[in-house]
Structure formats: C-alpha cells, structure tokens
Structure 1
Amino acid sequence: MTAASHDAEFPVARPRRLRRGPALRRLVAETRVLPENLILPMFVKEGLTEPVAISSMPGQVQHTRDSLRKAAREAVEAGVGGLMLFGIPEHKDAVGSQADDPDGVVQVALRDLAAEVGDDIVVMADLCLCEYTDHGHCGPLEQDGHVNNDLTLERYASIAAAQAEAGAAVVAPSGMMDGQVGAIRDGLDRAGFPHVPILAYAAKYASVFYGPFREAAEGAPQFGDRSGYQQDPANVRESLREVALDVAEGADMVMVKPGLAYLDVVAKVAESSPVPVSAYQVSGEYAMIEAAAEKGWLDRERAILETLTSYRRAGAEQILTYWATEAARLLR
C-alpha cells in the first residue's frame, strides 16, 4: 500500500479488535480526564452557621466557613486541581462595595483556605459584581439601567487586588466587560501582584443553562437580563475575537462558558488559543443529569464521566465542574 492509500478494508480491517475488554480500551484511549484537570466551583455565604442546600443543584450547598474548609480538604485528598470561589455577602449595594472589602466574604474565605490547604491546590476567585450588587448586574449602572463599562473596570481592578492580597492564586473575571483583562492586569501589577495569573471568562454566553446558579449565588438580575454584555448563543466568530482581545490584554488562561452546548466553540478556541483553555460545566448541565439520574433514566456516574470526556476531547485542558471531587475519586 502507498502512503496515500486508505486503510485496509473488511475483513482485514476490524476496528473492533481494539474494543475487546476494558483493559484494551483503556490502553488505546485517545482522550483522558485526570483529577488534576478538574476545578471545583464552591459557594460561601456570609453569616451562615450551617450549610444551606441548593434545591436546584442536589448535593451542592452554600458553605459556611467551616464547611468550606472541610470540602476544600476533601477536594485536595481526591486530587482535584483547583477550587473556584463565589461569595454571597449579607449586605449588597449599588456598587457592590463588599466585593473588595478586606473583610468581605471571599477575602475571608481565601485566607481560610490559605491556612487549610496552602499550596496543595490552586485556589481561584471568581471576579464579578453580580453577587454583590443589589440590582444583580455585573457592574455599577448608568441612569438608563445599562452597566457602566468603564466604571466597572475600576471596580474590577480593585477587587482583583483585594483577592490577591487575601491569597487568591488566580483571579477569574467573569463579567464580560470590554477591557476587563487589561484593567485587572494593570491593577494587579500596580498593587504588587505581577505573579498572579488571570483566567478570563473570555467566551461567556447569555445562556439559559445558568438557571440553578442564580439560586446558588443569589445574584439574579432584579430587572432585564445580561444579554447586553454576555454573548449571543448564535455567535462563534465573536468568541474567537473575544479570546484574542483577552490574550492581547494579558490573559494567562481563557474560558468558554457554558460547555456542553458549546463544544464547537471550545474546539475552535482550543485550536487558536496560545494559552490554556478551560470550560465550565455549568449548573444547568449538572441539574439535568442529576434529575435524569434520580428518575432512573440514565446511569449517573457514566453520564458524569462521559460529559467530562467530551470536554477534554473538544480541547479543554481544565474543566470547572460541580462533580470535581466525586469525579476525581471515580477517575482514581
């Protein structure tokens, strides 16, 4: 056969030869998910004395400081690669002033985790304002109700410095404001944190799949929606442009969110990005699988691992998933 020839045909070609038994299938698997590929999103709420179950995300909770430390230690022991913190303050206002308060809920939690897990895992902080503003949008508002992009950049730079000071190993801006990565990079550098990387939510879509997250983070918009700054689900070229802009501004990693309905976007970003690519298996994906499994309509553990494999196959090098600790145990 010449180099240009196609593969042999049946009966010489029998692809099923390599599918006989789990050991052989594992040996020739093209895609592998490792525990260190996984990042666990965690919610910590100020003022709680006991964890609060999230009804739309069975098995997930809003953590107290104590339960957060315990869950972080369990993630470390399972081999999970990272944690992503979301904070829920007791008090909210128009500019989200608790977001960069040194004693704000995430800053306190970051210091707790620095003491609990140290360098055993990468502790990341989501950087946005929707959980902190009384109107639920991702930045201060103009009189017409739109988010003031440039004023929001000032707030993001301040929040980044506060998170880094409290011990965040990575900051992760998720607000989809124009110029946010550049403003945060400048803010971190001026505050003496040039070593802190930025994981940019570079391609974040205005998706219906965030529904359960709104309960978990208590950050639903009080009016309108976020389509004025998050991307249209119909667009993909726009994502590649957003990624290129974020990388040019100093992003060290980029993220696509959501994941499962956007695996084509993950693949295109992975093909073009010069920096590591993450994808977020969002709350709606989690809730759908948990609900179907509870009904007995699918095998829960297989569904978890199959969807995680699809992320890796598309090119995501890190996966944010609420199953991170459980999946890491299954993978090990």
Structure 2
Amino acid sequence: MRLIYQSSLGIVWDQRFTEISFSHPMIRDMSKARVRDFIKLVKEKLSFIEIRPEYATEEDLMTVHTRDYVSLLKESSKIPYIGFLDQGDTVHYPGMFEDILLVLGSSFTSIKYSKFLDYVYIPIGGFHHAIPNKAVGFCPINDVAIAALKLFEKGERVAIVDIDAHHGNGLQFILYDKPILKMNIYAYDGNFFPGTGKIYEIGEGEGKGYNINIPLSLGSTDDIFEKSLEILDLLEVYSPSYILVIAGVDGHKDDQLKSLELTTNSYNLLGLRIRRIKRATNASIIAYGGGGYGPMSSLSMVSFLEGLVGRRTSYEPLTFSKDIGEIKRIEKIISRFKILSDFFS
C-alpha cells in the first residue's frame, strides 16, 4: 500500500489578532475583517495545529529599531485616541504597544515550532516597510527584519521571499549589507508606493548579490506573476535553512489599493512553489499574511496555504496579459539575476 505524505501546518493564532490593525482609518475595519474571515474560512478548508503566540520584549524591538523610536511607540500607545505615527498612513491607538509585542512574538513563536512542522503561518504581520527610526506604510515595526537577524545571528542561512503589491523598502534598507537573500516581487512604475525597488539595487558589502527586485508593471496578471515566480528557483541554489515568506495578497484584482490584476490562483501557485522548494532544500518555512484590503483577501490567504499543503485550487478564472512583451521583460530580468548566484553559491 502506498503511503501519502501529509504536510503539517501550524497557524499562530490569538483572538486578539481580529482587533489589531495599524492601517489608515479608512481601511482599518476592512483589515480587521480580513483576519476574522480568514480564521473562519481556514477552519472550514484545512487541518492545522493552532499555536498560541508568546509576547516579545522591548529589547527584541531594538534588534532593528532605535531606542528613541521604541520609546515613541510606548508613549503613543498611552494616548487615548487614534492618531498617526507617520505622515498619515500608520496609526497609533490605545494599547498599540502590547499588540506590537504580540505580533513580533508571533515570529519568535514560529521559529520555535518550525523545527517540528513543515509550515508555520502568521496571518498578521509581515511588516516590511518600517525602518529603524520610523513607521512607514501601515508598518509600525519591521518584524520580518528582526526575525531574519535573530536567525542570522544564530548561524542560520536565511532567505526572504517578499510577495506584495508594494516593495519591501524597509527590509531592503535594513538588510542591504547583510548576506541574507532577499527576493522581492511587487508592483512598480516608479511612483506607486513606496516608489522604491530598482533592479540594479543588488546589495552592498557582504550583502552584494543578495538583494533581488522583480518589479511588475501595474496591472500585471496571473500569467506574468507565474513567470516572475521562476526567480524562486535560485532558492535551490542558495539552499537556505530558513525561508521567511511574506505572502501579501493586496495584488488581487479586487483589492482596494488597486495595483495588480491577480486572482487567488496566483497565491495558490505561490504556495505550491514554496512547497516544491521546501522539498528540495528542507528549509524551515515561516510565512506571513502581509497586506490585503479587499473582499477576496481572506480566500487568497487560504489559497496560499492550500498550495503549501499540496492542494491545487481554482476559485476564479485566471487573468492574462494582452502585452506579450511584458512576459519577455520579466524573462530578461530573471535571466539577469540568475548570474547573481555566483555571489552566494
């Protein structure tokens, strides 16, 4: 009799997640609804182990963030009303600091359990915009950078796969000179937030060759996204011990922050691709919910998880590009980056 291997999935969960959002007031309710809908949907569709997160400490924040900025976060958390930490995107609210420590602690909890499970998923987090002394783009902290540096300091070989409608400018800034592989696929026209992510930015010093930016034209479709995922083949060359995946779903065609024309199929394909890489490298996989501000966000998140456990799904028709040259452009970029494997192979 042939035995069928069942992938083990853990989801870090606390009911408090349904009330946490650092997004602009106009979309905070939608951001919270995404998480509430996600936990209901994933319980219907998948078997998983629920993991209770632990809290991080103030000192953990200072792995990346300045002491003055951490003090600002603490003081802002005491203000009895909602306000902004930055120029008008990232909010502070009463009790925010405790929520920040819970979100960051989720990464540390995931690291602890990742040795016993094939995949660990955190539906909230993946804050890739924040820089050491400032909140940026709904991100009060950079939890992924902190987790990556903690692992790196322990001698782990770390890779980050950052899939989101927006370029992970904070991650790039913080880790630019570190030999931590960063692979970023995002929407880009030179102006779309945050406006960063040029392809010639490949890292510097010990991090030279470790920063890979794959910009997709605004309005890119499922077929273009599928082509862009071919850059992930480099992970098999890099052979990391840990892969941190920001699986942001704000590139869905129905997202409120309109940028790409993706469907749930793309996120399912991402999960399947990460699964293949897991089998090839035996890396520990920790994934984050990332961004997502539309009616299909929750299903897109679940579609990604279904891919991780080997389930191909198709909840809506694929989207296709009318521009043949766009796929050729992505092929050219990927070919250019594949020679970077000389830096870390």
Provide the TM-score with structure 2 as the length reference: 0.37
Q: Which one has the largest radius of gyration?
A: 1
Provide the TM-score with structure 1 as the length reference: 0.38
